[in-house]
A and B are shown apart, each in its own frame.
Chain A
Amino acid sequence: MLGYPLLSFIIFLPLLGAFFIFALIRGDEETKACNAKNMALWTSCITFVLSLIVLANFNSSSDGFQFEENINWIKGYNINYHLGVDGISIFFVLLTTLLTPICILASWKSITKRVAEYMIAFLLLETLVIGVFCALDFVLFYVFFEAMLLPMFLIIGIWGGDRKVYAAFKFFLYTLAGSVFLLLAMLYIYQQTHTMDIPALMQLVPNLPVVAQKWLFIALLLSFAVKVPMWPVHTWLPDAHVQAPTAGSVILAGILLKMGAYGFLRFSLPMLPAASHAMVPLIFTLSVIAVIYASLVALMQQDMKKLIAYSSIAHMGFVTIGIFTFNIQGVEGAIIQMISHGLVSGALFLCVGVVYDRLHTREISHFGGVAKKMPFYAAVLLFFTMASIGLPGTSGFVGEFLTMAGVYEVSRTFAALTATGVILGAAYMLWLYARVALGEIHNREVKKMDDLELRETLCFLPLAVLVMVLGIYPSYVTNILQHPVENLLKQVQKHDQSYIAMNLTQNQIIKVTQ
């Protein structure tokens, strides 16, 4: 089985599915839609199974890249088609392959126009996102990273809400404006090292002068910070989330936001360790502002989706601060927080989608007493609310706890500030739950709402199970994470010491000359 280029299969199978939908599915609107939906669901399910095979054959005791494929792609510019996964990226691949079929299932009834195109866009998005997480060549990474803008732009713009055009443009241009600096950084790195191979760059780039590293770090930061999104470049996210269709929000929150943080882990930290150390205060400050500011803003939201969007910004603040603690708890906590946020916020957006499909509004004030008509739904919402708050036993707890433990080791002040985010998180999530599910029914429309149907339950079930499993037995994930994270930290520390040593020797030289 392992003789096959498994990662390429996983990446391009959705593309193949999209091509089949595009080329083969004909007939009147209804049969076309139905066939397209089935085709997309099956393709994404098979992709998921393939990614499980990767996980099953994954060797967690090795810290290098596995399932590597390396083909010379652009000769003359040293660009290769190089793929591979390590313990960090494999979880994002799995998250993507898991969320895509759920997204397709969630759009089964809510998308009524241009269904075939919608499915094509989603499959395309899946291809590109998996590509981002598997790419081991900088240019290949960038190609996937940027190309992903188009399907997301179309998903928001065609199937979005009232202000979809504004939101789609904002999303596209914001992200692009950040990414072009990544492009420049990438070109500069190539010009210095003459390779684009990520494992090779991890060895070469840290040797660049610290000044150059700092500029590169800022360029990468501009790009990844928009994706994460970090304060103050987060403003595209609420718009994009509110206007996107439910499944679009799920994929946006669940996966696209993780790309920025993944970029930090894959590029900024291992390649620019000296600059990463120098930038810790900046990242910490921005993250804490994001956590507190976004939580406060979330408290005041009237729109359910906007509230969850702001909560995403706060949760991603935990992730960025965790990554830059440079200790094993912090980084592992950040990664688990990412996985957990992918599952939980995805599920929360699905929850919003469920009531939106029935009532066609997301205004919190239009709800109230939903639990009376939809008890099962209320239970699901409660579960994911608790997971979002970080109740022990759910994945959210593991992520937040480890992150804060990591931050505490570095700075108590920042740990305390981050902890306020947890409290505020509980406040806005519980208040949201209370206003939506509890109380008396004052809106007559709510009385007509039916509880979850089988299709919707199927969407929530795998997410709920995983949230529980990750909350109760996180060791399964941390075992796989351990080696790559330790390796990453060793890389960061090694060059940090050489950086310190270099500074020391410079100081000594200065002293001697004085």
Chain B
Amino acid sequence: MMQFLLADILPAVPEMVMATGAMLLLILGVLQKKNASLMLTQLAMVLIVVTAILLLHAPHGAETAFSGMFVSNRFIIFAKILILISGLLVLPLAQGALPSAGTKFFEYPILILFAMIGMMLMVSANNFLSFYIGLELQSLSIYVLAACNRDNEKSSEAGLKYFILGSLTSGILLYGISLIYGFSGTIEFNALHGFFVGEVNPTSMPIGLLVGLILVITASAFKISAVPFHMWTPDVYEGAPTPVTAFMSTAPKIAASVILVRLMLEPFASWQGQWQQVIIVLSAASMVIGALGALRQRNIKRLMAYSSIGHVGFVLMGLASASDSGVQAILIYLGIYISMSIGVFSIIMMMQRHGEARESTSDLSGFAKTHPLAAIAMTIFMLSMAGIPPFAGFFGKYYVLLAALDAKLYTLAVIGVLSSVISTYYYINIIRLMYFDELGEPLEKLHSEAIRGVLMLTAVFNLFYVIYPTRLIHGAIAAAQTLFL
């Protein structure tokens, strides 16, 4: 009996360790008299590392826990490692932030931890219920994080906006799940997969199931801010404190795109003809709107919001190709995207004058004179995001486009490269501001070892990925294959 129980929870041990640790940290934080934010951040980072080590040593085969509610395999572990890495990189940013960002309170690292637990549960979901629970845990933590700068109107607005739209999405998701349940009689992923396998002609499926599927895709599209469900992104990105934005732009997107990939390729794999067209449209629209929307942005966080929409379009292009090469391209793309995005946000955190954060792109003029090294790093990130070789972002796009061509999605690939040319305009515009323009009022130096460290790590990764790309690729190949066994 005991052995049975242990086997049934074993795959979820990393999450359980993390959750227990997070709660212990919460108790510790409450008991501390003085502000324990720094210590808790450090402990949280240790906890993340421990979880990552546990994950890496977990069995790589497909294993289920909690009577099939929870599943773990190579693909899921890879995604979780990406989520943990982005958490690990984001946590120190908050410590380096200005006091006005309002992120130096002890609940901050704990909320991040809980959000990450939610994401990990979500990507491990093997049932719509556990999917929903994970999603809600993640979303609730992030609503609070977005509004955590209480005295700032914009932050409160961002939190509220995200909360209202997020709740609407949860409603849509639940409605979709209930339709799927109503028409198929199950909410288990494996059973749903079997439901399709039995059917000879997938188009003869009940229409209600299709509506349910589309509603589920809609909810996921909202979470990854794919067009046309992207409207909240610029406002929330702008309003939320910058370290929170850095987090929001990476980890939840990874989690939501990975679960979307799993939904499409596991339970609904046989229905590829139905969902592929939806994903293609989402992908094309995201790339185009992401490129065009950013052209006129003056606030760098809004600009990054549109840029992330464009990147989501590329991720969806990988999904649209519905192949193992597409999935491995997605994983590599997400990994590279984390490093670019967090790198840019750590630069944004360095933009300050008289103790106040500056967020206008024009504040970057003459940045190369005051912060020569940071300007080089920013140049690397911008070119990487634009997909200019030899930086990492190019290879991300390369693999995705290759997968798209493999799947004969020629039009989508052409839209992708053209929109990346358009988006290059605003990326190199940042380089222009930093290097060509004369110095306006200079930004001041921000002395934070934490931010500098994150910046260094991400820049080095983007610059030197070209020399040794094999490791990431092998991991992604092995991970992607588990979806297509």
Chain A positions near chain B (C-beta within 8 angstroms)? 73-77, 139, 142-144, 146-147, 149-150, 153-154, 157-158, 164-165, 168-169, 172-173, 176-177, 180-181, 183-184, 187-188, 190-191
- Min Cβ gap A76→B in Å is 5
The 10 closest A-B pairs by CB, nearest first: A180-B417, A143-B389, A157-B436, A76-B473, A177-B421, A75-B470, A146-B389, A187-B402, A187-B405, A143-B390
Cβ of B282 within 8 Å of any chain A Cβ, yes or no, is no
Flag if A76 contacts B474 (CB, 8 Å): yes
In angstroms, Cα B383 to Cα A176, docked, is 12
Flag if B470 contacts A150 (CB, 8 Å): no
Contacts A143-B390, A147-B389, A191-B405 given: A77-B432 contact, CB under 8 Å? no
Q: CB < 8 Å: which of B395, B420, B431, B470 contacts A180?
A: B420
Known: A143-B389, A176-B388. 5 other contacts (CB 8 A): A147-B388, A153-B428, A157-B435, A177-B418, A180-B418
| Cβ-closest chain B residue relative to A156 | B436
In angstroms, Cα B140 to Cα A59, docked, is 70
- Which residues of chain A have C-beta atoms less than 8 A from B436's C-beta? 157-158, 164-165, 168
Flag if B435 contacts A154 (CB, 8 Å): yes
- Which residues of chain A have C-beta atoms less than 8 A from B429's C-beta? 169
6 A-B pairs within 8 Å (CB atoms) are namely A143-B389, A154-B435, A173-B428, A184-B401, A187-B401, A187-B405
- Min Cβ gap A156→B in Å is 9
Contacts A75-B470, A173-B424, A180-B417 given: A150-B388 contact, CB under 8 Å? yes
- Which residues of chain B have C-beta atoms less than 8 A from A169's C-beta? 425, 428-429, 432
Cβ of B414 within 8 Å of any chain A Cβ, yes or no, is yes
| Cβ-closest chain B residue relative to A189 | B405
Chain B, 422-447, CB within 8 A of any chain A CB? 424-425, 428-429, 431-432, 435-436
Flag if A143 contacts B401 (CB, 8 Å): no
- Min Cβ gap A138→B in Å is 11
In angstroms, Cα B413 to Cα A181, docked, is 10
Flag if A146 contacts B402 (CB, 8 Å): no
Q: CB < 8 Å: which of A147, A168, A184, A191 contacts B432?
A: A168
Cβ of B214 within 8 Å of any chain A Cβ, yes or no, is no
In angstroms, Cα B477 to Cα A99, docked, is 44
Flag if B402 contacts A191 (CB, 8 Å): yes
Q: CB < 8 Å: which of A73, A147, A173, A184 contacts B417?
A: A184
| Cβ-closest chain B residue relative to A183 | B417
In angstroms, Cα B431 to Cα A154, docked, is 9
- Min Cβ gap B402→A in Å is 5
What is the interface of chain A mostly: helix, strand, loop, or mixed?
helix
In angstroms, Cα B23 to Cα A468, docked, is 82
In angstroms, Cα B129 to Cα A438, docked, is 88
Cβ of B394 within 8 Å of any chain A Cβ, yes or no, is yes
Cβ of B449 within 8 Å of any chain A Cβ, yes or no, is no
Cβ of B398 within 8 Å of any chain A Cβ, yes or no, is yes
Flag if B421 contacts A180 (CB, 8 Å): yes
Q: CB < 8 Å: which of B414, B425, B469 contacts A74?
A: B469
Flag if A146 contacts B394 (CB, 8 Å): yes
Flag if A77 contacts B399 (CB, 8 Å): yes
Chain B positions near chain A (C-beta within 8 angstroms)? 379, 383, 388-390, 394-395, 398-399, 401-402, 405-406, 413-414, 417-418, 420-421, 424-425, 428-429, 431-432, 435-436, 466, 469-470, 473-474, 477
Contacts A143-B466, A184-B414 given: A172-B389 contact, CB under 8 Å? no
Flag if A142 contacts B421 (CB, 8 Å): no
| Cβ-closest chain B residue relative to A188 | B405
In angstroms, Cα B394 to Cα A142, docked, is 11
In angstroms, Cα B388 to Cα A188, docked, is 19
Flag if B432 contacts A76 (CB, 8 Å): no
- Min Cβ gap B121→A in Å is 31
Flag if B432 contacts A183 (CB, 8 Å): no
- Which residues of chain B have C-beta atoms less than 8 A from A147's C-beta? 388-390
- Min Cβ gap B379→A in Å is 8
- Min Cβ gap B415→A in Å is 11
- Which residues of chain A have C-beta atoms less than 8 A from B420's C-beta? 180
Flag if B421 contacts A184 (CB, 8 Å): no
- Which residues of chain A have C-beta atoms less than 8 A from B417's C-beta? 180-181, 183-184
- Which residues of chain A have C-beta atoms less than 8 A from B469's C-beta? 73-74
Flag if A146 contacts B473 (CB, 8 Å): no
Contacts A146-B394, A150-B383, A180-B421 given: A76-B470 contact, CB under 8 Å? yes
- Which residues of chain B have C-beta atoms less than 8 A from A183's C-beta? 398, 401, 417
In angstroms, Cα B470 to Cα A127, docked, is 24
Flag if A157 contacts B470 (CB, 8 Å): no
Q: CB < 8 Å: which of B383, B413, B473 contacts A184?
A: B413
Max chain A C-beta neighbours (<10 A), residue from B428, B466, B469, B473:
B428
| Cβ-closest chain A residue relative to B379 | A150
- Min Cβ gap A151→B in Å is 11
- Min Cβ gap B392→A in Å is 12
- Which residues of chain A have C-beta atoms less than 8 A from B435's C-beta? 154, 157-158
- Which residues of chain A have C-beta atoms less than 8 A from B394's C-beta? 143, 146
In angstroms, Cα B401 to Cα A73, docked, is 19
- Which residues of chain B have C-beta atoms less than 8 A from A173's C-beta? 421, 424-425, 428
In angstroms, Cα B401 to Cα A188, docked, is 9
| Cβ-closest chain A residue relative to B414 | A184
In angstroms, Cα B410 to Cα A181, docked, is 12
In angstroms, Cα B406 to Cα A165, docked, is 39
In angstroms, Cα B398 to Cα A444, docked, is 58
Flag if B389 contacts A176 (CB, 8 Å): no
In angstroms, Cα B402 to Cα A143, docked, is 16
- Which residues of chain A have C-beta atoms less than 8 A from B418's C-beta? 177, 180
- Which residues of chain A have C-beta atoms less than 8 A from B466's C-beta? 143
- Which residues of chain B have C-beta atoms less than 8 A from A176's C-beta? 388, 421, 424
Flag if B470 contacts A172 (CB, 8 Å): no
Flag if B432 contacts A157 (CB, 8 Å): yes
| Cβ-closest chain B residue relative to A81 | B467
- Which residues of chain B have C-beta atoms less than 8 A from A168's C-beta? 432, 436
In angstroms, Cα B390 to Cα A146, docked, is 8
- Which residues of chain A have C-beta atoms less than 8 A from B388's C-beta? 146-147, 149-150, 176
In angstroms, Cα B399 to Cα A172, docked, is 23
| Cβ-closest chain B residue relative to A178 | B421
In angstroms, Cα B432 to Cα A158, docked, is 9
In angstroms, Cα B437 to Cα A158, docked, is 8
In angstroms, Cα B398 to Cα A180, docked, is 11
Max chain B C-beta neighbours (<10 A), residue from A150, A157, A164, A188:
A150
- Min Cβ gap B67→A in Å is 37
- Which residues of chain B have C-beta atoms less than 8 A from A153's C-beta? 428, 431
- Which residues of chain A have C-beta atoms less than 8 A from B473's C-beta? 74-77
In angstroms, Cα B383 to Cα A74, docked, is 21
Max chain B C-beta neighbours (<10 A), residue from A147, A164, A168, A183:
A183
- Which residues of chain B have C-beta atoms less than 8 A from A150's C-beta? 379, 383, 388
- Min Cβ gap A170→B in Å is 11
- Min Cβ gap A87→B in Å is 28
Max chain B C-beta neighbours (<10 A), residue from A75, A149, A181, A184:
A184
In angstroms, Cα B405 to Cα A153, docked, is 30
- Which residues of chain B have C-beta atoms less than 8 A from A142's C-beta? 389
In angstroms, Cα B477 to Cα A144, docked, is 26
In angstroms, Cα B325 to Cα A212, docked, is 23
In angstroms, Cα B466 to Cα A147, docked, is 12
- Min Cβ gap B412→A in Å is 11
Flag if B424 contacts A172 (CB, 8 Å): yes
In angstroms, Cα B247 to Cα A294, docked, is 53
- Which residues of chain B have C-beta atoms less than 8 A from A187's C-beta? 398, 401-402, 405, 413
- Min Cβ gap B247→A in Å is 30
- Min Cβ gap B325→A in Å is 9
| Cβ-closest chain B residue relative to A159 | B436
In angstroms, Cα B417 to Cα A181, docked, is 8
| Cβ-closest chain B residue relative to A192 | B405
- Which residues of chain B have C-beta atoms less than 8 A from A172's C-beta? 424, 428
Q: CB < 8 Å: which of A76, A149, A158, A164 contacts B477?
A: A76
- Which residues of chain A have C-beta atoms less than 8 A from B399's C-beta? 77
| Cβ-closest chain B residue relative to A76 | B473
